[in-house]
Amino acid sequence: DVFDPERLIECPYNKHHRIRACRFPYHLVKCMKSHPEVAKELATCPFNARHLVPQADLSDHVMKCDDKGFIEQDIVHQSCGFQREQTNTASTWQAPPCEEDWD
């Protein structure tokens, strides 16, 4: 299961490291400091910071990344919600009655 916090994930810095998913972000930070030469060769996926791939493979990864769909859905959902909110706000607003007499 992709969402199982106990599943084991292979470390991109050291293939012998197998880390529980719930600890993976912390391990990445620690292992990156321990392996700076490997870190220079890896690129971070713009859709999921846990995806570290060789720089040469980044464009291919971005095209196939499963998390891209979630981000695109969020953008569409937020955009539709924003447009709906603007429409509702604009159509229901009325100017308050003016009680001032300037003459």
Each residue's pLDDT expressed in tens, for the chain with a length of 103 residues: 788 999 999 999 999 999 999 999 999 999 999 999 999 999 999 999 999 999 999 999 999 998 888 887 888 878 776 555 555 555 667 777 887 777 6
* β-pairing verdict for 8-10 and 18-20: antiparallel
Q: Please measure the distance between the N-terminal and C-terminal CA atoms of the chain and give it in whole angstroms.
A: 74
Record the pTM: 0.67
Amino acid symbol at 27:
H
Token pair listed for 33 = 């400091």
Q: Where are the domains of the chain?
A: 8-78
CA gap 36, 5 in Å, rounded: 27
